[in-house]
Structure 1
Amino acid sequence: MTKHTIETVTFKLNDGESRDAFAEAAEAITAFAQAQDGFVSRRLSCSDDGLWIEHVEWETLGAAQAAAAKIGKEPSLVDCMKAIDGPSVVLHHSTLEISVN
């Protein structure tokens, strides 16, 4: 098995932001990610207490880092990014060991 990189990002939304509106706006991140070299898959979930958890699978750590360097500059994501509480963002990269679909 190829050991891809998993990018896990957790965050909360700014006060007053709608969960449903954000989920709809976050579809733009899918389009952005799919256009990046090395993209494999993406999942976004939200816990009952409002913690959003994003898992993006990349072919390599370099691909993940290259996409991360571009995301804040992407005009189509401005509204989505404004909804996120910046200080709450935590980003981790890990090596995929097991994947079952």
Structure 2
Amino acid sequence: MTKHVIETVTFKLNDGISREEFAQAAKSMNDFVTSRPGFVARRLSCGDDGLWIEHIEWADMEAAKAAAAAIGSVESNKSFLSAIDGSTVKLYHTELEVSLN
């Protein structure tokens, strides 16, 4: 059986972008993410230090990598992507071992 994949991305925002502005931009990506084959769930959180953490659960690695490859080609994702300080981005794809909802 293929294990689900968790895509974890950590990053900080560019100077001048408020938490509220970014949260709104993140919501504008919902249609892209939910329409991708293999999408299961998405969570986005931010710590007091300004570090954002996004977790997206995918049905398999192929779905995760295909979505990651396509994200920059969609116009509605531009405000989300342009708010992120690219030098701070760390991306991980890991297999899900334990989940409790």
What TM-score results when the alignment is normalised by the length of structure 2?
0.96
Structure 1: unaligned runs, 5 residues or longer = none
CA drift of 1:3 comes to: 1.8
Q: Following the alignment from structure 1 to structure 2, what is the Cα–Cα distance between the partners of residues 42 and 30?
A: 9
CA RMSD of aligned residues (A): 1.1
Alignment of 1:31-50 (within 5 A): 31-50=31-50
Q: Following the alignment from structure 1 to structure 2, what is the Cα–Cα distance between the partners of residues 2 and 24?
A: 34
Secondary structure of 2:44's aligned partner: strand
Identity of aligned residues (%): 59
Contact preservation (8 Å) 2:2, 2:60:
no
Structure 1 match to 2:65: 65
CA drift of 1:2 comes to: 5.7
Moved over 4 A (4+): none
Q: Following the alignment from structure 1 to structure 2, what is the Cα–Cα distance between the partners of residues 80 and 68?
A: 14
Alignment of 1:1-101 (within 5 A): 3-101=3-101
What is the one-letter code of the residue matched to 2:89? V
CA drift of 1:29 comes to: 1.9
What TM-score results when the alignment is normalised by the length of structure 1?
0.96
Pairs aligned (count): 101
Structure 2: unaligned runs, 5 residues or longer = none
Q: Following the alignment from structure 1 to structure 2, what is the Cα–Cα distance between the partners of residues 56 and 89?
A: 15
CA drift of 1:31 comes to: 1.6
